[in-house]
Amino acid sequence: MNDLWTLQRGAQLQPDNSVRFSVWAPRAKQPRVRIGRGSNARDHVLARAAGECGVWSVTVPNVGANAEYTFVHDDGRALPDPVSRWQPEGVHGASRVIRPDAFHWTDVAWRGVALDELVIYELHVGTFTPEGTFAAIVPRLVELKSLGISAIEIMPVAQFPGDRNWGYDGVGLYAVQQSYGGPNELKQLVDAAHSVGLGVILDVVYNHVGPEGNYLDAYGPYFTEKYKTPWGRALNYDDAGSDEVRRFIVDNALYWVTEYHVDGLRLDAVHGIFDFSALHLLQEISTSVHDEAARLGRGVVVIAESDLNDPKLIRSPDAYGYGLDAQWSDDFHHAVHAALTGERNGYYADFGGVSAIAASLREPFVYDGRFSRHRHRRHGGSSVGLPRRRFVVAIQNHDQVGNRAEGDRLSRTLTPAQLRLAAALLLLSPYVPLVFMGEEYGETNPFHYFISHGDEALATAVREGRRKEFETFGWGDAVPDPQARETFERSRIDWAKRQVAEHQQLLMVYRDLLALRREEPLLRPDGARVSVADGDPGWITLLREPLDDDAGSGWGELLAVFNCSGEAVNVPVPAPDARAWTLRLSTDASGYGGADEVVPAIAAGPAPGAPRRLLEPERDASRRSVRMPPWTAALYAAITNY
C-alpha cells in the first residue's frame, strides 16, 4: 500500500498544517502564491523545483485547511490553481485548500462492479432531482438498485461557469462543481452508492477545456493549434511541453479513482483526443488506472465514448490496442431509433429498417469498414471476436436526446407499445445496457442543452453554434435558448410520473427485464452463443444457447422474438427443432398495458431424425412459427426435459 498514488501538484496539506504549493508554469519568470484576500493576503515566492522543467513550488507554514489561495503571475493577475480541488466561488474565484483524507469512508469492503454485471444509469446531477445536488440523489439510490441498476454514471462534475451546464464546459478539472454540493457531498454520494451495492462511473472530459474561466494559457502550453475539435482548442498531448499536460490528465483520472473512490471513468468523445505519440494517452490512462486499482484492491473500468467504431480502443496493448475496458457503440442506438421513429436525417440516413437492428445485435459495429452515406466514406473496423461486455449500448442518452433541437425523448415520439419494444431490444441485447434518467418510466419532459455563461458574447456564440449544428437535421429555428433558465428548468425529470398508471406499466417492463438479466446467466454479455435472424416485414429472433454443450436438464436455450413492425406477423422459430418453448416475458402482457395476444408456449418439434408430423392442422412442425402482435417483444425459454 506504500506505493499508492498521491497528487503532487496543487495545494497539498501536510500533517503540521503547512501546505506545499506546486504548479507547472513554464511561462512564468517568478510566480507567487497569495494566501488569503484583501489586507490579510500574504504572497510567497515559489522556487523552481529541482529536476522538473517549469515546475515551481514552496511550502508555507501554518496555512491549514479552507485557506484561500491564488497563483500570482508576472503580469500581476491572481488566478485559480489549475489543480484546485475546490472552487467555492466558481471558475473565476480563489482556490481553496482542503484535507482530502478528512472524509470517513465506510466502503472498505467494496470491490467494484464486474463488466458483465453492469447495468448503467446515466444521470445529470442538476436535473435528476428538484434540488439538483449530490445530496438529493442519495435517497433515490435504493430505488435505482431495486430497479436493477448496478452503477450510476454521473455526467461531468468538474467546475464549470455558473450553476447550470451539462458539464462538458468544465475548466476546473480537479474541482467538484460547487452548485452540486462540492467535494464532500460527492464523496458522500459515492459512499452511499457503495453502501446499497451501486457502483459509480464518472464522466470526464479530456478532449477540450471549456472557454469561460479557462486560465491554462497563463501557465503553460496546454493547447495546440495542430489539431481542431468541434468544442474548443485541442489539448497538447504530443508537442513541445506535452509531458506535463499528459501528467495533468493522467493524474486527474487517478485522482477520481483514489480520492473519490469512483468505480469507473467514462471518457468523453475520445475521437477528439489527438495524440501521435508512441504511447497513446488513452493507453497511458488505462494502464495507470488499472495499476492503481490493483494496488487499491478494487476493480475500476475505463469506458470510452467514441465515434470511430475502432476496435483498437479496447484491444489489449499486446494486440496493439489501448487496453480500455469498453466503449460506447452508437450503431445500436441509431438502428433502433431509425427503425422505430422513421427518421432518416443526419446520421440516421445510414440506418433504417429491421435489418440494421439485427445487424447491430450480431455485431456492435454495423459500420465495420463499409461505406457510410452520411459520412461519404468508409467507416469503422470489425468488432468480430471481441467480447460483448466490452460494448455499451443505449436507446437514449444525454447526447441522443439533448442534441435534438427540442430535447425530445422517445416518449414524445413512440407509442407505449413501441417504448416497451425498445426497452426489450436494449435489455435483451447481448451488450452492457445504459438507461438514461427517466427513460425507465417514459419521462416526457425534454432534456435540453443548457448553459449559464457569465460572458454574454460567449452565450450568443453558443446559441448560433447550436442552430448551425442542427442544419443537417433540418431543425434550424426550433432550438431553445440554452442560456435561458427556463430551458434548464424544463429539463428536470418529474418523479411524480412514476405514480401514473401508464408510466408505472413501462417501469414494470424495465424492472422485470432487468430481473431476468440477473436471474438468467444466458442473458449476460458473453454468457451464451448468440444467433440472430431477421426477415420481412420486420421481425428478429435472437437465440441464446449455453456455452457448455453439456448444460444438463432444466431450462435450456432462450429465444427472444421481436416484431418491429406495425402489423401482426408469424415469426419462424429457429432451431433446435426438438425444443418446446414456454413464455418468460411478453411486452404485450396486460400488466404492462398490452393485449395479452402473445402465445404462452410453443410446442415441440420433431426430435432429430424423427419423421415429420403435423402439430396443428395444416401446420408443418419443421416450419414452426409464433404469431407476434405489432411492436411486441417476447422471451421464451426452452424446456429440455419435457
Q: Known catalytic residues?
A: 268, 305
Which letter does DSSP use for residue 139 in this model?
G
What is the chain's alpha carbon radius of gyration, rounded to the nearest angstrom?
A: 27
- Across-strand partners of 544? 530, 558
The amino acid at 356: A
> How many other β-carbons are positioned within 10 Å of the β-carbon of residue 550?
5
CA distance 137 to 193: 10
Which letter does DSSP use for residue 631 in this model?
T
**Is 86 within 8 Å of 45 (Cβ atoms)?**
no
All three cell numbers of 234, joined, read: 485541442
All three cell numbers of 556, joined, read: 435450456
- Indicate the burial class of 240 (C-beta count within 10 angstroms; 0-12, 13-18, 19 or more): exposed
Cα–Cα–Cα angle for 452, 453, 457, nearest 5°?
135
3-state helix, strand, coil in the chain (%, to 5): 30, 20, 45
- Can you tell me which residue has the cell 497511458? 284
CA distance 497 to 484: 25
SS3 407: coil
Secondary structure string (H, E, C) spanning 535-576: ECCCEEEEEEECCCCCCCCCEEEEEEEEECCCCCEEEECCCC
CA distance 505 to 420: 9
CA distance 421 to 425: 6
CA distance 84 to 10: 6
**Is 166 within 8 Å of 398 (Cβ atoms)?**
yes
Q: E-strand spans in 77-214?
A: 78-79, 95-96, 120-123, 151-154, 158-159, 172-176, 199-204
CA distance 587 to 595: 9
CA distance 53 to 225: 22
**Is 79 within 8 Å of 70 (Cβ atoms)?**
yes
Handedness of CA 547, 550, 552, 557 (dihedral sign): positive
> How many other β-carbons are positioned within 10 Å of the β-carbon of residue 107?
14
- Can you tell me which residue has the cell 483524507? 101
- Indicate the burial class of 108 (C-beta count within 10 angstroms; 0-12, 13-18, 19 or more): exposed
All three cell numbers of 473, joined, read: 437535421
Q: At what angle do helices 330-341 and 354-362 cross, to 10 degrees?
A: 160
All three cell numbers of 361, joined, read: 445485435
Which letter does DSSP use for residue 234 in this model?
E
Cβ neighbours of residue 137 closer than 8 Å, sequence gap 6 or more: 123, 125, 128, 129, 152, 189
Least Cα distance to 384 among 347, 359, 354, 356 occurs for 359
